Structure 1
Amino acid sequence: MQPKFLTLDGIDGAGKTTQLNVIRAWFEARGLPVLFTREPGGTPLGERLREILLAPETQVSLRTETLMMFAARCQHLEDVILPALKNGVNVVSDRFTDATFAYQGGGRGLPDADIAVLERWVQGSLKPDLTILLDVPLEVSLARIESSREKDRFEQEQADFFRRVRDVYLQRAAAAPERYVVVNSNREKADVKVEIETVLDKLFQAA
């Protein structure tokens, strides 16, 4: 079976941490080889860039921020994702390039064309086999962010920022339904769990 590259994405507060545990348990129950990773991060360089990018005191231009995201991504691909796939290991990444289009594009206003240039340069033709997009209403996202731990640099943004981020995620999913599955995560955790497990069952049965 060809290994799969899966990504889990969505607006802050959508419940990615909880559902990553669901996905991990699904793979473990079937004995399938899998590597879990995250963006920005996944490598020593990526984790250092993550610390800088998320630190509330960091002040960088939008282009610099985007280049840092793709620098972390390039190292992530070369050191982690591509070697794992080559060795027959499935990869699940907490965020990937969709997040750049949503946050730096939708949220901050960088043109999609600029992001697409970097996407092609860093990734070539590589795209996830499946992106599970967790979605919650904006007010739910904001309430969860407000009640969580100390907010990072992105979580400190205003409601309009997150509205634009969510809109771009949903637009991208609607434009490529063959790659995305939008999961309403504003429900009982058990119901979301069942839906994600069903999505994974279908993906690997079709392989």
Structure 2
Amino acid sequence: MLHSSGFIVVEGLEGAGKSTVIDAIRDFLSKKGQVVVCTREPGGTPMAEAIRECVKHPWAEEEVTQETELLLMYAARSQLVQNVIKPALASNYYVVGDRHDLSSLAYQGGGRRVELTKLHQLRQLTLGDFVPDFTLYLDIDPSLGLERARGRGELDRIEMAGLDFFKRARQVYINTIRSMPNAIQIDASQSVGEVKKDVLSALDNWYQNRSL
């Protein structure tokens, strides 16, 4: 029996292997007969992709303020949720997201040290009570993650934020995941095979429990 729909989010620092995990999740769900829509943040709609370019561009000629970065993230997220994610869920599809709201809590709240009240206000304005059904957090030491990211090519503006930025972001991730229902932490420093094994085990357990 097919489940109605579900919003699954994969979170993690740079170099954690989110793309590989998302491919594995999509294959798992497709084999179950589910229709799967994959998204990324920021991005996922024409306007949100344009915002993504603004966020990641170095902007050497001017400083990008913390508030500007935060507002851009939520503007892109609002476009994606309203125009892609919610319609897909309403059509009984599964949505697998490369990042969602937890990324802003970690990156802008932890990394940039933006006041949590500002984050919560923006979240309430743009998302209300909309939350993922299941979150997989791929945990990795920032040094290893950035080393992997550099191996992919030139770093973007966010990736160049510095090691301390990512250490703060990681701590927020770890602290928050512990208190979230339907959230699992996976050791992303393992081999690709071991990470996929752990992810699919957690995903299968969550998926089977949905039908009980």
Q: Deviations over 1:176-206 (max 9, x none)?
A: 2x23100001112111111111112112211
- Give the Cα separation in 2 of the matches to 1:5 and 1:146: 30
- Give the Cα separation in 2 of the matches to 1:142 and 1:87: 38
Q: 2:114 aligns with which of 91, 110, 113?
A: 110
Q: Deviations over 1:98-125 (max 9, x none)?
A: 0001111100010112101111111111
Q: Deviations over 1:58-112 (max 9, x none)?
A: 6421111111111111111110000011110111110001000111110001011
Q: Name 2:91's counterpart in structure 1.
A: 87
Farther-moved stretch of structure 1 (21-30 vs 107-116) = 21-30
Q: Give 5+ residue unaligned stretches, structure 1.
A: none
TM-score, structure 1 as length reference: 0.95
- Give the Cα separation in 1 of the matches to 2:161 and 2:128: 32
Matched, 1:205 2:208: yes
Q: 1:39 aligns with which of 25, 38, 41?
A: 41
- Give the Cα separation in 2 of the matches to 1:203 and 1:32: 15
Secondary structure at 1:69's aligned position in 2? helix
Q: 1:124 aligns with which of 112, 128, 144?
A: 128
Q: 2:74 aligns with which of 45, 70, 78?
A: 70
- Give the Cα separation in 2 of the matches to 1:196 and 1:171: 20
Q: Give 5+ residue unaligned stretches, structure 2.
A: none
Q: Name 1:139's counterpart in structure 2.
A: 143
Matched, 1:196 2:185: no
Corresponding pairs, count: 206
In structure 1, what residue type is equivalent to 2:106? A
TM superposition outliers: structure 1 runs of 4+ over 4 Å: none
Secondary structure at 1:22's aligned position in 2? helix
Deviation at 1:152, TM superposition (A): 0.3
TM-score, structure 2 as length reference: 0.93
- Give the Cα separation in 1 of the matches to 2:12 and 2:142: 11
**Which residues in structure 2 correspond to 1:17-56 (within 5 Å)?**
17-56=19-58
Secondary structure at 2:190's aligned position in 1? coil
Secondary structure at 1:42's aligned position in 2? coil
- Give the Cα separation in 1 of the matches to 2:66 and 2:197: 39
Secondary structure at 1:156's aligned position in 2? helix
- Give the Cα separation in 1 of the matches to 2:120 and 2:10: 20
